[in-house]
Amino acid sequence: MDAVNILSTKGLTKTYGGIKANTDIDFALPKGKTMALIGPNGAGKSTFVGMLCGRIAATSGDVFFEGQNINALPAHKRISLGIAYTFQITSVFAGLSLHENVALAARRRLGSDVTAVDAKVADVLARVGLMDRADQIAGDLSYGHQRLLEIAMGLAQDPRLFILDEPTQGLADSEIASFIDLINSLAGETTILLIEHNMDVVMKTAAYITVLNFGEILAAGTPEEIHANEAVQAAYLGTTTDA
Amino acid sequence: MSNTQRSNLLHLGTITLLAVAFFILPTYHVGNLSRIMVLAVYAIGYNFLFGYTGLLSLGHALFFAAGMYGLGLSMELFDLTTAPALVVGLASALVISAVIGFLALRTSGVSFMIVTLMFAQAGYLTILYFGTYTRGDEGFVIQQADRVLFGVDLSSDTGRYFAALALFSVCFLAVAHLVQSPFGRTLVAIRENEERARMLGYDTVTHKLKAVIISGTISGLAGAAYALLFGYAGATFATVQYSIFPLLWVLLGGAGTTIGPLIGVIFMFYLIDLSSSITSAYMLIAGVVLVLLTLFAPQGLAGELRKRVFKWMP
Amino acid sequence: MDFGPHLLLASLEGAVTAAILALTAMGLSIVFGVMRVVNVAHGEFYMLGAVIAWWVTSLIGGHPAIGFVMALGIAPLVVGLLAAAADKLILQKINYDPDRTIVATIGLLYIIQQTTLMTFGPDARPVQPPFNTRLALPWFEYGEGGFAMFWPWGLSITSYKLFVIVAAVAILTTLWLLITRSKIGLIMRATQLDSETALAFGVPVDRVYMWVFGLGAGLAAVGAVLVVPIQQAHYLMGHDPLLLAFITVIIGGLGSLPGTIIAAILIGMSDGIISVFFSPTLAKIIATLLVAMVLVFRPQGLLGRSA
Amino acid sequence: MVTKPESKFTRRGVLKTLAAGTGAIAATSALPGLSGFAQAQSSAPIKLGFQVHRTGIGAAYGRWYNRTTEAAVKRINDMGGINGRPVEIVAEDDGTDPKRGAEVLEKFATQHECDIAFGTLFSHVVYGSAPRAGELKLPYFVVSEGHHVASGKLNRYTLQPGITDVKSQVQAMAPFVANNLGKKVTMIFPDFAFGHDHRDFFTAAIEAQGGEVVEAIAIPPTETSFTKYFPRIPRETEVIYHVMVGPAVLTFVKELGEFFGPSSPEIFGFIDSLEAVDIKSPGLEFLEGTYFWEGNPRNAQADQSSHDKAYRAAVGVDDNGASLEDAQDVSTYSHMFGCWETLNVIKRGMETANYQGPADRAKLIEAVEAMSDMPLSDDHPQGAKRFNGKTHQTFGHQYISKVTDGKLVVEHTTSIEDGLYEDEVDYTTQSF
């Protein structure tokens, strides 16, 4: 595999009882860039991402991470290779403090080095703007803050690839704006795969866009290319002319 | 004072208090406390799995019995001395909890509860089936003369009390330390949200298996200690009732707190003991108190304390 | 006894066990399915059903059938009301929190058991079956002169045991119709699927829970009234049915009523049939392990949806 | 309802304990020196810790053990107590659980400061409690009919002077079974140690009579349906030997009858299968003509002794072995006499040893160990006994009764010698 691609798939397919959710997906994610994965509801985005990080077993096809075939690896092993993942539906440790939430994410890599973990936690909490809430219980946070916390947990892992599944869903406009800033501040630091509905976010953050429709890749390219792509407009952007 | 210091103070204070209790309490309560400490070890083992890892087992009596019979039978049938018999007891509990854990962890939630219950039930029947060796329900006595460990007579009041205290202290402190370690915190993470923990890169299955083994082995240790300190092994300890007891103790004392198991055992023991001296219908009192507790102290006694007063409590 | 007749006899006994198990487990399954709570006191409601049956039949006298029919009406009603009251007074107050429900129902178990011990006493007390004829059963064997019918030694069942099987089928069918065809059933199913949405659509969820809890206990009591002429009323009799009913519900698949019935048949029949091949206790061990293995390899239960 | 008098009993016990305790303290503080203490001591009641199965599987037995004990203590007190001191029972429920049993013993010894403990029936509770009795040096008189005491597995502080053990019972039965009922026996028993004892001892005993056990069917505990096991009974069986315990016994006996219908072999059972159960219960009709071992004949026999008559009256049991208040309430007549007789042995032992207080416990045990023949009397209404001081076990007569018109009629009484076997232990060589 090409060294400039951190992650790629070949012929990745998932069928549920004869119904194809993903068909023969050949996909490549360039290292260090932000890529957005878009597509109408039911296009198979979550299935695809699920197969990337190992939550869903592929029916056929291969997933490569940094040139290594990771088909046989269970989810937690893939994560340990440097993939961080945030859920479509917020998933934090609701009964634990913010500090502990992030520490759990950091600790997997940093182990029992308390100082390093604490430093990391302070760093990422500051970065997402939750520092002053470190001792609060995660379940008590507002929805928007919980999403930020989840991103902080992703960051605390120092991921080489950060997969965010619809991170701005349900956020207020002001929160979305700071989210965009956050993602852009990460550019170059890590590779980001963003599953996103909000085209504004996509356009302001993504270097590349892949469009999924009916479980197949419809188009891939820069935002400009995608914007100009007629097939995409027909299938997906159709009515929303501009963002 | 930092929270860690406070926790240490609480733990060491508890142990000191128990040590002092030997000298100031009347004989009867000293005897009770030595029993309570052994049972608290069982509860600590159970709490590790239920309170910290979030796995509700109804089969812990099997682990308790594994330790009890591992020790008892090796002394009874193979004339082992106490120390090696204790090792056999521990090893039996470890092996059995590993096997049960491996199988039962394919399930989760109520299925886990039922599978562990059924394995324990099969274990209980197995003890009866091999009645020729185990003496089934009747069980057998471990002779007083054999109950000596490193020169300490475990059948004397003093020997028994401090052996129980030593065992309790080791398990109490070890588990208190373990749950603060990265491993223990990961277990808590699994309890809170297993899928999230997995997607942070933790091997949750292996973690849970380790938790079952640690919990089962501590429970087995309690079983072995019970046989050794009180001189009796019997199939009653393998019945479902003895799987429900630690659940009850832990829930009453406060699941997921270090001190909860001890408080739960003390509470339940004296609830039965005191109410039975007032009325023969003591189960009625026990029942009413349990219902009241769920209504007014849902987190268990230590859990309520933590929620209301000592937020730092481990 | 020869193998064939032995197997037939064991299967018949297994069918009786399965019938009673299906009834007791069904009550638990409905409670479990709709309310998602572990009711540890379920076995005690079963026991109360048997004790009330004894009480009714011994008060009424006359032909045993009169008392039995009365008991079949009264016991489930009383037990159901009692359970509904317990739900309202306790479980509703603790919001059906899973852990607290376990402790509360253990408390309830103690209370019911001790109260029964103090009033009913520690003895096992029999209830006379409304009818009970021993029916010798024939067996066919291919011999020198073709098929021959003979009456093997000991191969028999009683008319009452056959009645239990029929009654269980009838009651479960009625229940099935109630749940699938009636408005009550619809409300129950809606609450089971999504209690919050049900609440939003005006379903009085609290009251549904209360009556579901009562219905579950009532079904256990029906099972007990049917079983008490075969066994006896005793204050500790609730223990084993509780465990078995639990196992049945989980094996069947949480919330799946057909699953519960299939599991009851599987467990009851295997208990009977395996006893043909092994010595009694060994048979129990093997049957228990086999059923446990079903869950190990199918964690969601037989008809449960996979998570 | 039935527990009411018991609870009053306990409460009174506790109150008395408290009163006696404060009284003693008051006496010693008011009158320093030994004389005051001795005074308080000598008139203070002798306290017997009564370990009773009030709850759990043994509750049906426990209720009658309690009733018999109350009656025996009342009689002893009416006759002037022990060594001039009144006897007081301190009852504690052991839940028929070995763990709680041991705890209760501790409570007797260290909290209630009882002089001795007594009364346990279920063997597993005896096993669980006996080690603590030895450690606490608390004389522990069990009424359990288990072979545990005589087997040598317990200790010098545990004795069974009031009831014959199962090994002796079974051995005494075998000749009658072999000579009158048949030589090919199928045994049905619970898969408990108690059932295994029956299997092992009876197999040996029947073989000595030239018979054999053709099949041994061990029923798992808590089983509630039995028919499926009956096909295991071989066709050649001449006698069925059954001994079951627990609440399902009635089902067992009923299903046995339904299984055989009109063509059953001879049936011999231990009355344990039907203790506290009315033999006229519906479904038990087929028991007519079958045989039972009885520890003490439930129905008053034609040749009833004056001692049995007095004993029945004292306990409040009618001629059918049921409560005087309620003819349906059948007693555990074959076992509960053990409480009565044990208490009388304790009384005699304490008088011989001139027992004054816990310091004399060893002397009490030695006094009991020195006992041997105990003739039929009001103290021993079940029959004469021979106590073996070395094995701490008593040996008595056993009764074989036939169900005739719904009553148990004694057909044969074994001699004490029928039940004797070689000593398996000599507790007197153990130190105190």
CB-CB contact of A22 with A13 (8 Å): yes
pLDDT bin (cut points 50, 70, 90) of residue D18 is very low
Residues D294 and D146 in one domain: no
Question: Can chain D be said to touch chain A, i.e. do they have 3 or more Cβ pairs within 8 angstroms?
Answer: no
The answer, yes or no, to whether residue C202 has pLDDT greater than 80, is no
Q: What is the pLDDT of residue D34?
A: 39
Residue D70, domain member (yes or no): yes
Residues D131 and D24 in one domain: yes
Tell me the CATH number at D188. 3.40.50.2300
* Interface with chain A: mutation pick from B186, B191, B200, B299, highest number of A CBs within 10 Å: B200
In whole angstroms, how large is the CA radius of gyration of chain A?
18
Contact assignment for B200 to A55 by CB distance below 8 Å: no
pLDDT bin (cut points 50, 70, 90) of residue D49 is very high
Q: What's the maximum distance between 2 C-alpha atoms anywhere in chain C? A: 74
Find residue A28's DSSP bridge partners.
A8
Q: Is B21 in the C-facing interface, judged by CB distances under 8 Å?
A: no
Residues D132 and D238 in one domain: no
Nearest CB to C103; choose among B110, B128, B251: B251
Q: What is the pLDDT of residue A56?
A: 86
Tens-place pLDDT, residues D216-247: 998 888 788 888 888 888 888 899 999 887 77
Q: What is the mean predicted confidence (pLDDT) over D264-285? A: 84
Q: What is the pLDDT of residue A168?
A: 85
List chain A residues with CB under 8 Å of B202.
Answer: 76, 108
The answer, yes or no, to whether residue C295 has pLDDT greater than 70, is yes
pLDDT bin (cut points 50, 70, 90) of residue A243 is very low
What is the rounded average pLDDT for all residues in chain A? Answer: 84
Residues D39 and D108 in one domain: yes
Chain B, nearest residue to C297 by Cα? B106
Can you give the residue ranges of every domain in chain C? 12-129+188-297
What is the rounded average pLDDT for all residues in chain B? Answer: 89
List chain B residues with CB under 8 Å of C119.
Answer: none
Question: Can chain C be said to touch chain A, i.e. do they have 3 or more Cβ pairs within 8 angstroms?
Answer: no
SS3 call for C118: helix
Convert chain A into a string of H (helix), E (strand) and C (coil): CCCCEEEEEEEEEEEECCEEEEEEEEEEEECCCEEEEECCCCCCHHHHHHHHHCCCCCCEEEEEECCEECCCCCHHHHHHCCEEEECCCCCCCCCCEHHHHHHHHHHHHHCCCHHHHHHHHHHHHHHHCCHHHCCCEHHHCCHHHHHHHHHHHHHHCCCCEEEEECCCCCCCHHHHHHHHHHHHHHECCEEEEEECCCHHHHHHHCCEEEEEECCEEEEEECHHHHHHCHHHHHHHHCCCCCC
Give the distance from residue B262's alpha carbon to the nearest chain C alpha carbon, in angstroms: 17
Tens-place pLDDT, residues B9-29: 888 999 999 999 899 988 889
Residues D82 and D173 in one domain: no
List chain D residues with CB under 8 Å of B230.
Answer: 102, 128, 131-132
The answer, yes or no, to whether residue A1 has pLDDT greater than 60, is no
Q: What is the pLDDT of residue D14?
A: 42
Give C180 or B85, the one with higher predicted confidence: B85
Q: What is the pLDDT of residue C288?
A: 87
Q: What is the mean predicted confidence (pLDDT) over B232-236? A: 91
Subunits close to C (at least 3 CB pairs below 8 A) = B, D
Q: What is the pLDDT of residue A30?
A: 85
Residues D366 and D233 in one domain: no
Judged by average pLDDT, the poorest of A146-155, D41-50, D365-374 is: D41-50
Total number of domains in chain D: 2
The answer, yes or no, to whether residue D36 has pLDDT greater than 60, is no
Contact assignment for D110 to B135 by CB distance below 8 Å: no
Residue range(s) defining the domain that contains residue D375: 4-165+335-396+425-429
Cα angle vertex B118, ends B114, B119, to 5°? 120
Q: What is the pLDDT of residue B1?
A: 67
CB-CB contact of A33 with A160 (8 Å): no
Tens-place pLDDT, residues A174-209: 888 888 888 888 877 888 888 888 888 888 888 888
Nearest in space to D198 (alpha carbons), one of B238, B136, C1? B136
Contact assignment for D251 to C236 by CB distance below 8 Å: no
* pTM, to two decimals: 0.87
Q: What is the pLDDT of residue A2?
A: 46
Residues 14-43 of chain C whose Cβ lies under 8 A from any Cβ of chain B: 38
Q: What is the pLDDT of residue A197?
A: 82
Q: What is the mean predicted confidence (pLDDT) over B263-277? A: 88
Contact assignment for A100 to B185 by CB distance below 8 Å: yes
Contact assignment for C153 to D235 by CB distance below 8 Å: yes
Q: What is the pLDDT of residue C106?
A: 86
Give the distance from residue B198's alpha carbon to the nearest chain A alpha carbon, in angstroms: 6
Nearest CB to B141; choose among D11, D92, D154: D154
Contact assignment for B129 to C301 by CB distance below 8 Å: no
Residues D281 and D362 in one domain: no
Q: Is B181 in the A-facing interface, judged by CB distances under 8 Å?
A: yes
Contact assignment for D14 to B132 by CB distance below 8 Å: no
List chain C residues with CB under 8 Å of B111.
Answer: 250, 295, 299-301
Nearest CB to B155; choose among D92, D98, D135: D135
List chain D residues with CB under 8 Å of C239.
Answer: 222
pLDDT bin (cut points 50, 70, 90) of residue C58 is confident
Report the alpha-carbon distance of residue B126 to residue B123 in Å, rounded.
Answer: 5
Q: What is the pLDDT of residue B92?
A: 95
Residues D290 and D414 in one domain: yes
Residue D181, domain member (yes or no): yes
Residues D41 and D146 in one domain: yes
List chain D residues with CB under 8 Å of B236.
Answer: 97-99, 124, 128
Nearest CB to A85; choose among B189, B199, B202: B199
Chain B, nearest residue to A85 by Cα? B199
Nearest in space to A71 (alpha carbons), one of A16, A15, A154, A7? A7
CB-CB contact of B41 with B35 (8 Å): no
Q: What is the pLDDT of residue C24?
A: 86
Residue D104, domain member (yes or no): yes
Residues 86-105 of chain B whose Cβ lies under 8 A from any Cβ of chain C: 103-104
Residues D98 and D189 in one domain: no
Contact assignment for C124 to D227 by CB distance below 8 Å: no
Burial class, D18, CB count within 10 angstroms (exposed 0-12 / middle 13-18 / buried 19+): exposed
Chain D, nearest residue to C237 by Cα? D247
Contact assignment for B230 to D97 by CB distance below 8 Å: no
Tens-place pLDDT, residues A95-140: 888 888 999 888 888 877 888 888 888 888 888 888 888 888 888 8
Contact assignment for B196 to A96 by CB distance below 8 Å: no
Contact assignment for D261 to C136 by CB distance below 8 Å: yes
Residues D98 and D200 in one domain: no
Q: What is the mean predicted confidence (pLDDT) over D369-381? A: 92
Residues D154 and D230 in one domain: no
List chain C residues with CB under 8 Å of D55.
Answer: 114, 117
Judged by average pLDDT, the poorest of B98-112, B290-304, D110-124 is: B290-304
Report the alpha-carbon distance of residue B45 to residue B59 in Å, rounded.
Answer: 13
Tens-place pLDDT, residues C3-34: 878 888 888 888 988 998 898 898 888 888 88
Nearest CB to C118; choose among D3, D218, D282: D3
Q: What is the pLDDT of residue D402?
A: 92
Subunits close to A (at least 3 CB pairs below 8 A) = B
* Interface with chain C: mutation pick from D1, D225, D281, highest number of C CBs within 10 Å: D225
The answer, yes or no, to whether residue B72 has pLDDT greater than 80, is yes
pLDDT bin (cut points 50, 70, 90) of residue D31 is very low
Domains present along chain A, CATH in parentheses: 1-73+195-243 (3.40.50.300)
Question: Can chain D be said to touch chain C, i.e. do they have 3 or more Cβ pairs within 8 angstroms?
Answer: yes
Residue D76, domain member (yes or no): yes
